[in-house]
Amino acid sequence: MLNTVIIGASGYTGAELAKMVSRHPQLLLRGLYVSAASVDAGKLLSDLHGQLKGIVDLPLLPLTDIKATAASADIVLLATAHEVSHDIAAAFLTAGCQVFDLSGAFRVKADDFYRQYYGFEHQYSEWLESAVYGLAEWNADAIHQAQLIAVPGCYPTASQLALKPLVVAELLDPQQWPVINAVSGVSGAGRKASMINSFCEVSLQAYGLFTHRHQPEIAHHLNCDVIFTPHLGNFKRGILATITAKLAVGVTVKDVTAAMESAYLQTTDQHAVRLLGNKTVQLDDVVGSCFCDIGWQVQGEHIILTAAIDNLLKGASSQAMQCINIRNGFPQLTALV
Amino acid sequence: MLNTVIIGASGYTGAELAKMVSRHPQLLLRGLYVSAASVDAGKLLSDLHGQLKGIVDLPLLPLTDIKATAASADIVLLATAHEVSHDIAAAFLTAGCQVFDLSGAFRVKADDFYRQYYGFEHQYSEWLESAVYGLAEWNADAIHQAQLIAVPGCYPTASQLALKPLVVAELLDPQQWPVINAVSGVSGAGRKASMINSFCEVSLQAYGLFTHRHQPEIAHHLNCDVIFTPHLGNFKRGILATITAKLAVGVTVKDVTAAMESAYLQTTDQHAVRLLGNKTVQLDDVVGSCFCDIGWQVQGEHIILTAAIDNLLKGASSQAMQCINIRNGFPQLTALV
Amino acid sequence: MLNTVIIGASGYTGAELAKMVSRHPQLLLRGLYVSAASVDAGKLLSDLHGQLKGIVDLPLLPLTDIKATAASADIVLLATAHEVSHDIAAAFLTAGCQVFDLSGAFRVKADDFYRQYYGFEHQYSEWLESAVYGLAEWNADAIHQAQLIAVPGCYPTASQLALKPLVVAELLDPQQWPVINAVSGVSGAGRKASMINSFCEVSLQAYGLFTHRHQPEIAHHLNCDVIFTPHLGNFKRGILATITAKLAVGVTVKDVTAAMESAYLQTTDQHAVRLLGNKTVQLDDVVGSCFCDIGWQVQGEHIILTAAIDNLLKGASSQAMQCINIRNGFPQLTALV
Amino acid sequence: MLNTVIIGASGYTGAELAKMVSRHPQLLLRGLYVSAASVDAGKLLSDLHGQLKGIVDLPLLPLTDIKATAASADIVLLATAHEVSHDIAAAFLTAGCQVFDLSGAFRVKADDFYRQYYGFEHQYSEWLESAVYGLAEWNADAIHQAQLIAVPGCYPTASQLALKPLVVAELLDPQQWPVINAVSGVSGAGRKASMINSFCEVSLQAYGLFTHRHQPEIAHHLNCDVIFTPHLGNFKRGILATITAKLAVGVTVKDVTAAMESAYLQTTDQHAVRLLGNKTVQLDDVVGSCFCDIGWQVQGEHIILTAAIDNLLKGASSQAMQCINIRNGFPQLTALV
């Protein structure tokens, strides 16, 4: 049994992680932590997330002694704010823990990226260098050997899982940027009170036009420029991405299908991508599940892809669990289906 | 044209009032005010409520000089917090304005009521004494002559409009308290950021069991004890009240229908109650409208009544406008249909 | 491994059952069946319920030879219409199968009940006589020995789990009927196209006033008259019941709490009731789970209880699975948490 | 007063039209009609649309004698299916009525269009030729003189109002097709029972990829190829369109803003487009209103435009009313604000 702790356990992704870890046959949930200053310290996790009553009734401990916490843990899940992950990951890594970070703090190795998009200077360039990007279906070999896994963001997961087979197979026209429109449920903004998340103020809308930090994350890891427009939807969970792109000359739907199948149907271990071909991708089919559904249609030179995930699961917590499973040699979807 | 000002114009009821006043042929919208300390002072109302762009583009003025504001106004609408209404109403009244208060500050003339349910000592017992309760369909004569009208709360409006005909006609068993269950949309909590209103946290639930301040308001004005259980629903607007009561011995559905028709079908002026008899009352039929729909069914000694209103309209702003119309001799539903 | 078949597998409860059976370590999902005339015969279950792709990809077989199907099965789950369950249960029972019926066909042993409330004459009085009502937390001993288990309806489950401890302990005033108001998600009406379920027509409303067939089911099994008013809510899943009752003379909140704890905290096996005392019961805490949350508050002679379940789970499929577990000696919540 | 009749009055757009006509100071609502075979014939419109009780309580008459109906009417609103509009418009036109058709039957003058996209051969090429496309802000002069106005579809209205200023000013790169992603509320599918509209089945999804009939309507009237991907959203009303396009070389945000202002701020008569510049366009700001909100952002060579309308109002009924107003010399937004 691997001792597992969750830092930042009070939020939506933390609660999902706690449920998964407690259900996992090879993991032992050793502790749930929040910032020492948090008003939630001392409460039960199930006081904040009533659905966990009788399932995970552990208290939220204040994270006051990182060394002691690190000493108790084989696996550390960071469901913390970007700055917090940045600040505390090294202590766990130095202590020898496996660290799975759900924040953006170790995702992109590019100059100025953190200053420009996250508002801080990155202080841990070596750890950043060693971090493996936890896009489970694509980086399994590297994840299996890594100590620090940077779990991808929610929009980037849906976008890359759909586009990466085409980019890798060089099926896209390099002259024209794919257009990614994605709609996310409100839980993507985290568990907090704000006017923008206030029930009566939530209304379908595009936001962060041309400026969202997930655009460079997608472009960097795809190695392909994209236009990315996120939207806030009037629902709690899930992301639907609709991607429009121009194909390279002569590419047909058969080539696309072959690329998809080559990427996702060659594996022996069950993973979390389901190929729907020309069937309709529906958001509710993935809400509450670890899966990413992908569909596509081609007409002439253009392709439209749709991809759906649960933003808190495949877009965060279940992908982190997939990475834990890959890292430790368990079947990928253990505790997830 | 009567000069009309709205104090506390930034909230949901304020915005509805602004729309109605600007549409009213005999009213002139002279000013929108917020507390001098409000972060919204100086903004356009339509910056906060985008649906008003091109309809009401007036600025939110800081209320710094009540006397000057009062001097500019024939009619004052107070869409302010209870304590604020309590504090400022007298200044407008002394200046001779008609005051329509949407808060609870002048609704109930009972010892200890404000201390117990609102947490403050009432300082204006004479104005409280003179205030008329603005339940439009029942108090039209008094409203017509009043200077201070205390517009009823949202739950009390739905509850009383359904029950009052039965109480007045003495059709209920006095030994058994009517049970009022009501579900309200989230806008009932006002325009603000809080965890309880946070989109992902909103979930159907009962709240304020036995302790909600609208219970004594209902009981006081009905002159009948009731059990009142409010619920938060996962929708923006509207209230549905389901009321179960025991009839007095020998009372039949015909007696109930006669009481309803006597209460609501004898008037010459169109008002805001629609009688549905045994047809189904549906919340969405009243959302966005000034109407209260009422239905009823009898079996043996028991009656179930259902009543639906828009909590921001018949439960607040349109009822205030009905009172303005009654007070000034305009057709009751002017600017409302 | 017990061979398990699901009849009527195409609907919402059938899909939930298929997921649970396939996840259960002691059950083998041997077949999914629909009526031979169904347009869904031959499709994959996951074609109808996309969330099951990769989880349950079995076909929906036409039920053409009940004997052969019965011969292949140890356990039969009937997720069929009331009339269909009534017609086919005997064939499975005669063949020796354990039958768990989610319909109303075997729930109430009362003269005229089926004629009055279900519109048919019951033809199987002996099986009806032998059927055990599958309210898991209350009838475990009888369920353990039964061959035919009539799984309770969704409203009756929530209502009885909250009220039964008080009725059994004789804490209620027998002169006054408890008032049950309950709001159900739209899935309670089943998977079909109709105007009442049409997205734009769904609106919070009471329905079936004084006439819903779940009223006599509740009254019969509680042995207590009740007034039951169901409501349709604007959400997919879940039921929240708010119950108002008068206590017998001298009964206090301590007595109520003792009765609740006596009913639900004396067991060694984990079951599906969670006691919340005076904390708020929230619908979303139980949606997607097998639990029933119960809370209560007392003031003077009155009590208000709230109870929440997922109508498709504790109100149907997970309660059926609890019954399977009890019947066969597995831990009650196997495959459910 | 102009006598006005509505054909196909039972649906969502019909109900909206009835409300507007009854509120219009220069129109007299002479009759509501449905197909003679309709189950709704003989009912009150307010039986179907409860919100109209007390506002429009007229019966739905069977359309049995078109000539007589035409003789009674100055203005005919066709809120009928495409085939029905196609079949009956000529009779009203020949009788001299002004005809405002909300269907697609007279929108596009292109060979094979009706065969390919609507499944019927157009039989009235002369009326089709004479029809004016009722995009109110763009075709006012032609509308003013037309007898037959083909009111645009919902998606085309939002798409064209945003793109047309750029196309007309030649600001777009002609080599790259604009990508239009739009999400519509469920009411866009009309008032009827179907699995796709069934409450529990509605889930955010793209549909009609590359094949929706509104793509050629948009491309034809814009005179610009576009990729158009409609989506079904989990809400009742409204459309949000997000449009991504490449600008011609050297074009800046100032050029875009100038084109928008030239198109929409030069008029004396108030119309239904509100320009938001770089402010966020939110769906709920237009739901229930006649307005189209448009926003835009530019980065490098790319532009993202967002446009929001109420699909039943600016996307259907209020645009029809705008056309009636323009045709008859009334202020454009009469009965609409």
Q: Which residues pair with C98 in a beta bridge?
A: C75
Helix extents (H) in D7-151: 12-23, 45-48, 66-71, 82-94, 113, 125-130, 140-145
Phi/psi-derived region of residue D136, left when phi > 0, alpha when psi is between -120 and 50, beta in every other case: alpha
Predicted confidence (pLDDT) per residue in A39-94, tens digit: 999 999 999 999 999 999 999 999 999 999 999 999 999 999 999 999 999 999 99
What is the side-by-side strand order in the sheet with C60-63? C60-63, C27-35, C2-7, C75-78, C98-101, C148-150, C132-133
Alpha helical stretches, state H, C52-151: 66-71, 82-94, 113, 125-130, 140-145
> What are C101's strand-pairing partners?
C78, C150
Dist CA A255 CA D240 (whole Å): 33
pLDDT for the residue D31? 98
Cα–Cα dist C104/C133, whole Å: 10
Query: For residue D268, is it within any domain?
Result: yes
Mutate to test the interface with A, among C43, C47, C52, C53 (most CBs of A within 10 A): C53
A12 vs B191: CB contact, 8 Å cut-off? no
Q: Say whether both C305 and C323 belong to one domain.
A: no
Rg of chain B (C-alpha set):
19
CB-based contact, B288 to chain D, within 8 Å:
yes
Please determine, for residue C328, whether its predicted confidence score (pLDDT) is greater than 90. yes
- Angstrom CA distances, C47 to A274, B84, C41, C56, D139, stand at 13, 59, 11, 10, 46
On the question of pLDDT at B15 being above 90, the answer is: yes
**Which CA distances in Å does C290 have to A109, C17, C49, C67, C160?**
45, 12, 20, 32, 16
Strands of the A132-133 sheet, one edge to the other: A60-63, A27-35, A2-7, A75-78, A98-101, A148-150, A132-133
**Hey, which residues does B181 pair with through a beta bridge?**
B229, B242
Q: What's the confidence (pLDDT) of residue A323?
A: 98
Query: Is the model's pLDDT at D267 over the cut of 80?
Result: no
Q: Are residues D147 and D158 in the same domain?
A: no
Q: Tell me the three state secondary structure of residue C60.
A: strand
**Contact residues, chain A, for C55 at CB < 8 Å:** 337
User: Is pLDDT at C267 greater than 90 in this prediction?
Assistant: no
The residues with which B277 forms a beta bridge, in sequence order, are: B295
Q: Contact, B137 vs B160, CB < 8 A?
A: no
Please check the confidence at residue D265 and state whether its pLDDT lies above 80.
Answer: yes
- Predicted confidence at residue A177, as pLDDT, reads 97
Does pLDDT of B327 surpass 80?
Answer: yes
pLDDT at position D111 is 81
* Helix H or strand E segment including B144: helix B140-145
Burial class for A146, CB neighbours closer than 10 Å (0-12, 13-18, 19+): buried
pLDDT tens digit sequence for C7-24: 999 999 999 999 999 999
Q: How far is CA B221 from the centre of its chain?
A: 13
As a whole number of angstroms, the distance between CA B181 and CA C182 comes to 10
Which among B176, B231, B235 has the least Cβ separation from residue C234?
Answer: B235
Mean pLDDT over A103-118 rounds to 94
pLDDT at residue C275 tops 90: yes
Q: Does the distance separating the beta carbons of A205 and D304 come in below 8 Å?
A: no
Average pLDDT, chain A: 97
Kindly state the DSSP code that residue B232 receives in the 8-state scheme: E
Examine residue A166 and state whether it is found in any structural domain, yes or no.
Answer: yes
Q: Which chains share 3+ C-beta pairs under 8 angstroms with B?
A: A, C, D
Strand bridging mode B179-184 / B227-232: parallel
- Averaged pLDDT for residues A229-247: 98
pLDDT exceeds cutoff 90 at B318: yes
B-chain residues near C285 (CB < 8 A): 203
Q: Are residues D31 and D101 in the same domain?
A: yes
Q: Would the CB atoms of A205 and D235 count as touching at under 8 Å?
A: no
Calculate the alpha carbon distances from C225 to C163, C172, C220, C315, D3 in Å: 11, 11, 8, 21, 58
Q: What is the arithmetic mean of pLDDT over C327-335?
A: 97
pLDDT at C18: 98
d(CA A147, CA A136): 15
pLDDT tens-digit map of C300-317? 999 999 999 999 999 999
Confidence band, pLDDT 50/70/90 cuts, at residue A267? confident
- Contact at CB, A54 and C270, closer than 8 angstroms: yes
Q: Is residue C336 part of a domain?
A: no
Strands across the sheet containing D179-184: D205-206, D227-232, D179-184, D239-246, D302-309, D292-299, D273-277
Largest CA distance in chain C: 62
Q: What is the mean pLDDT of residues D205-234?
A: 97
Are B147 and B171 within one domain?
Answer: no
Using an 8 Å CB-CB cutoff, list chain D residues near C195. 192-193
Instruction: Kindly indicate the confidence band of residue D268, based on its pLDDT and cuts at 50, 70 and 90.
Output: confident
The tokens of A29 are what? 């949930």
- The 10s digit of each residue's pLDDT in A144-180 is 999 999 999 999 999 999 999 999 999 999 999 999 9
**CB under 8 Å, gap of 24 or more: what pairs does C45-49 form?**
C45/C9, C45/C10, C45/C14, C45/C15, C45/C18, C48/C10, C48/C15, C48/C191, C49/C15
ipTM reported for the complex, 2 dp: 0.96
Question: Are both D64 and D175 inside the same structural domain?
Answer: no
The answer to whether the CB atoms of D193 and C191 lie below 8 A apart is: no
A211 contacts: CB under 8 Å, gap ≥ 6: none
Q: CB-based contact (8 Å) between A39 and chain B?
A: no
Task: Give the model's confidence band at A269: pLDDT under 50 very low, under 70 low, under 90 confident, else very high.
Answer: confident
Stretch C38-48: mean pLDDT: 96
Shared domain check, D285 and D184? yes
Q: Which residues contact A312 (CB under 8 A, 6 or more apart)?
A: A12, A13, A16, A154, A187, A237
Q: How far is CA B334 from the centre of its chain?
A: 17
Using the predicted structure, report yes or no on whether residue A118 has a pLDDT greater than 90. Answer: yes
- Please state, in angstroms and rounded to a whole number, the distance separating the CA atoms of residues A322 and A320: 5
Q: Do B179 and B246 belong together in one domain?
A: yes
* Average pLDDT score over residue span A308-328: 98
Q: What is the DSSP string of D246-286?
A: EBPTT--HHHHHHHHHHHHSS-SS--SEEEEETSPPBGGGT
A336 lies in a domain?
A: no
Are residues B266 and B281 part of one domain? yes
What number of other Cβ atoms are within 10 A of residue A262's Cβ? 12
pLDDT of residue D238 exceeding 90, the answer is yes
Question: Helix, strand, coil % (nearest 5) of chain B?
Answer: 35, 25, 40
The backbone region for B177, taken as left when phi is positive above 0, alpha when psi lies in -120 to 50, beta otherwise, is beta
Q: Give the Cα-Cα-Cα angle A211, A213, A219 (nearest 5 degrees).
A: 95
C224 touches C299 (CB < 8 A): no
Are C63 and C80 a contacting pair, CB within 8 Å? no
DSSP character at residue A278? T
In a domain, A337, yes or no: no
User: Which residue in B has a C-alpha nearest to residue A202's C-alpha?
Assistant: B199
Alpha helices (H) along chain C: 12-23, 45-48, 66-71, 82-94, 113, 125-130, 140-145, 154-168, 214-222, 253-264, 317-328
Helix ranges, D33-153 (H)? 45-48, 66-71, 82-94, 113, 125-130, 140-145
CATH of residue D93: 3.40.50.720
Pair (B301, B159) in one structural domain: yes
Alpha-carbon distance of D112 to D56, in angstroms, equals 41
- Domain of residue D23, residue span: 2-151+316-328
Q: What is the pLDDT of residue B189?
A: 92
CA B308 to chain centre: 13
Question: Residue A5 above 80 pLDDT?
Answer: yes
Contact D235 A284 (CB under 8 A): no
Provide the β-strand partners of residue D32: D6, D60
Per-residue pLDDT of B242-289, as tens digits, reads 999 999 999 999 999 999 999 999 877 889 999 999 999 999 999 999
Optimal mutation site among A12, A200, A234, A235, interface B, most CBs of chain B within 10 A: A200
Consecutive H or E run containing A69: helix A66-71
- Sorted by sequence, the CB contacts under 8 Å of residue B106 that are 6+ apart come out as B85, B86, B89, B127, B128, B131, B148, B150
Structural domains in chain C (count): 2
Residues D239 and D115 in one domain: no
- Mean pLDDT calculated for residue range D8-34: 98
What whole-number distance in Å separates Cα of residue B106 and Cα of residue D139? Answer: 55
User: Tell me, what CATH number does D285's domain have?
Assistant: 3.30.360.10
- Examine residue D232 and state whether it is found in any structural domain, yes or no: yes
Query: Same structural domain for residues D176 and D288?
Result: yes
Residues 224-283, chain D, touching B (beta carbon < 8 A)? 270, 274, 276, 282
CA angle B160, C297, B305 (to 5 degrees): 25
Interface contact flag, B236 A200, Cβ < 8 Å: yes
Q: Is C180 exposed, middle or buried (0-12, 13-18, 19+ CB in 10 A)?
A: buried
Distances (CA, A) of C200 to C203, C208, D193, D234: 8, 21, 10, 10
Other beta carbons within 10 angstroms of residue D128's beta carbon come to 21
pLDDT in tens, C218-236: 999 999 999 999 999 999 9
Which residues of D are known catalytic residues? Answer: 154
- The shortest CB-CB distance from B282 to any of D50, D55, D291 is to D50
Cα B6 to chain centroid, rounded: 16
**Model confidence over B167-189: pLDDT tens digits?**
999 999 999 999 999 999 999 99
Round to whole Å and give the CA distance between C202 and D2: 36
Decide: B30 and B330 in contact? Cβ < 8 Å: no
Sequence-distant (6+) residues with CB within 8 A of C120 are C82, C83, C86, C114
Ranges assigned E (strand) in chain D: 2-7, 27-35, 60-63, 75-78, 98-101, 132-133, 148-150, 179-184, 205-206, 227-232, 239-246, 273-277, 292-299, 302-309
Does any domain span residue D336? Answer: no
* pLDDT at residue A251 in the model: 98
pLDDT at position D246 is 98
Clarify whether residues B221 and B322 are in a common domain: no
Residue A180 placed within a domain? yes
How far apart (Å, rounded) are the C-alpha atoms in residues A36 and A65?
10
pLDDT value for B266: 84
- Do C234 and B235 meet the contact criterion of CB atoms below 8 Å apart? yes
For residue D203, the one-letter residue type is S
Confidence band of C89 (pLDDT split at 50, 70, 90)? very high
Give the residue from C181, C176, C232 showing the smallest Cα distance to B243: C181
